[in-house]
Structure 1
């Protein structure tokens, strides 16, 4: 991979996508920014350039496969062959299943799941003939454990995980040097909770603990640099959620039934007209939400778990050495 990679980031106008794009810009990369909102895209492009990268903003709805394909053509014409494609765009709703309609479910799946499929297909059409490249899927602990009020989003993340695993097996079977990996995130401090469509009486919030989006950006860059890993878990809460669901899913059902509604709402009243399901979150002129949400005072900037994940080789060696030393000592004592 060249020093100046060509990186595509979908959902790049705000939140995790904005932080990821800015992070690649800081590496001096050429970054194509895909999203629906013009103002957010323009601001994201300024961020990337200020960080030291080259930016090409493109207004695209990833639910439209033809639009994604046209964007991929333009990216390669303007920046060169795509090295990295980061699937991140999403929309969601905070509402009980019975208070949603079929059109809302369809829209969330078209963006949050099929948008990843469309991006992946566009990337594969270009990467496979060159036999190189990395596709990163931004996932969530909710790809393993669904929670109340986010049925469509959780279903989409589950679908992405299945799609990723199938694709990974196929690439391994082919002996391809194109890689796919998935980064499973915890609750993030992003504008998502001002954008999400909600039928609940109070303002949405992420389920604590909450992490800053720059942590996700760090994990994505590490995933690109270590493409052989099938997935990365970010944050202790992600690990706890995934492992807890393996051990006691029924217990989690009851716990989330009791706590999941209140944990996803603040004490503030909610604006029922908010939401980016059908229109960009930065549709109003001069609107730029940036990468961070309104939870800076509660969000963690670091994660010991991510550090451990990044250094798992060294930690495994230390653990293995300690185990070997312990076994040797046991053998000597028994002699």
Structure 2
């Protein structure tokens, strides 16, 4: 049996096999941490979640003007979008000219029209780089949240929809149920996504401890976990409806934590998040039943969902801590070896995640 399982595993690169109380996984060489921190690859370009999510960003180098790199990372944290997207967008909008004015009156690095600036500028100056980049993050985050439901309905790319909304207005995206058939808008979206995907826009980042001093925010890290059949008394978490120290319990806690629900009774539990169908392999179906966005495009705070049904009926879920410009994602998770029923970080190509389940509405 072990030889058969090993043979199957060899066909699926880096696929985890997870059972309640048991974890088997293959760790390819590119996934090994280089700095002992448990996650990330030194030298990769990335944007890290805000301090509420557990890791902080440190940026150096890259093609973004050095004096504005921190502003781009702050805007990325505000919007939940990759810093590479925002940086490439600023390049497309103004060529990094903070004094730019278009023939129709768009102003500054982010080329805001005065009416839009009045809603997202927060009283700042569109010609001030920090104010402009911060407003860009706020506006892109608002567009992403407005249009991600449409993207889920149509199978479209929510990042592309947000970019198109920035260029042509969200009404046009909703009217055409996708990127509008305007040459300028289609070229705009394609140019930004291609440039962001080149991996040269945001400086090197490294996962570091949050201001709280630890990246593992899970409050039950020392609780007894299920390693028998049936599970022993005391291993079930009555606050979530899951079992302690399983991947699913971590993700439910993290979703609550990110929206400020940090003490019981929590906003989300197995009952209302998943209709009591809490096994990891069932999460995508439950998301779709709610009408919540499911996408191949990663965003910070999303659930990384793994369909490994040929190997295990259980599946696996993790949370996205960072979206890297080299097309990898940094995941935070519980119960992946060598972190048996404990916290760990793992960097892997986004394409090896079966789907990204975007955070449900707060």
TM-score by length of 2: 0.22
User: As a proportion of its length, which structure holds more helix?
Assistant: 1
Q: Which has the higher contact order (CA 8 A, sep 6+)?
A: 2
TM-score by length of 1: 0.24
